[in-house]
Structure 1
């Protein structure tokens, strides 16, 4: 057995070290002409390099050329991606619908319209009616009554006793500072620009409900509060907001921090507006700055 294995090894070494020649023969004269010659191990190395090159070229063709798109796995990945995009688009459509509802509500309130609530409405076909429990529990009935009484987008009934003329209200100063731009409706400046210390607290001028608290590219961090008697106050260019939509606030309660956010600003300040029934009001007529 040892001799047989030794003989096989000797045969392999012999063929790897042998010299092989490539020759051409002239058919008419039978003259031989050597073209090239190589060792056995050189032929083996050439075969290995060729195989590796074929593998690399095949991989590049499959990974980085249109050939990839005709493979079954690529088709499956494409369908999966399309489904994910459709779900994402549907989610974006719902978000846009809800934001449109909020913007519409704010516009109506600023214009002096009275609204009861803002309820997003979705396609009824998207609702699954199977296994629904139609009989509300006692806790559910209690919660429904509390929500109905609170009426998220309206002033609570406890505030309505204070309804009267603007002169009857005691407005809280939103910030302490220096007025740099006055109320001027002719120039589309419907409020006051008040310069104060950076990071100073911004406070609500009256009791109310936060109607809007979000980012605007031009006004930065904006918070709008609905008060009684169709009074609306707006606070713009805040560094940050500490209240959210639907939060109840008291007069003098901190709602944000003075900043320099938004495109329409040249330095840290608060832009403060006061509206009633869709009409801008000069805050200096009712607030001592």
Structure 2
């Protein structure tokens, strides 16, 4: 029992025994530095140093370009180039295949290899063979009833089913000062309205969301298709409240304005209006103040 008690004490004493590390000048034996050390302190310091070196090595490999020089790690730029080349190769192969088919068809025509029998199955050629006298052009009973119904609707329900664009009013998506006007010559087909960050962006009219995604240059972008061929575009948002395919009402919140995207210079809304594929000046129809 005594020997078992002595062993832990002996180990503890060895760990806590103090030593002095002295650095001397070899010529004059002058003491330059001295440190009081124990085996426990040396073990703890060595462990901490090892953990620090391992952590530093991991950070250098994970978050710096130095990992490209380590065998087994590939370059990010090379991966991007390889992906782009793969897409280009696939596109070129498709173009070459289409060109080959086109050239083969031209060769057949020039050599006279095209046979008339190849076109015998065409429904158009078969329809040409029908004589006009063989076709009964007299309307049947169902056709006559349909014609009469359509005539009545065209005669009496014209103004009931027609709608007027004069009642189509556009709602201002935000209120604020315009920092950049619409300028078609400079290809700035929008107005930039300065707003506070996280200002709610509202739909300018009833419609359906046809695009709602993040873009690197203009942040979150949402595009709404309205009646009469009108499309509204909202850019540089920090968040969206609607998704593609959602139906929205005029004045309904669709996004949150901010300073998102590489092309943004401050919190604002980039607002565009397009009609039948042509840009129009939003200030002609909307008062943003």
Band the TM-score falls in, shorter-chain normalisation: 0.3 to 0.5
TM-score between the two structures when normalised by the length of structure 1: 0.43
Higher relative contact order (CA 8 A, sep 6+): 1
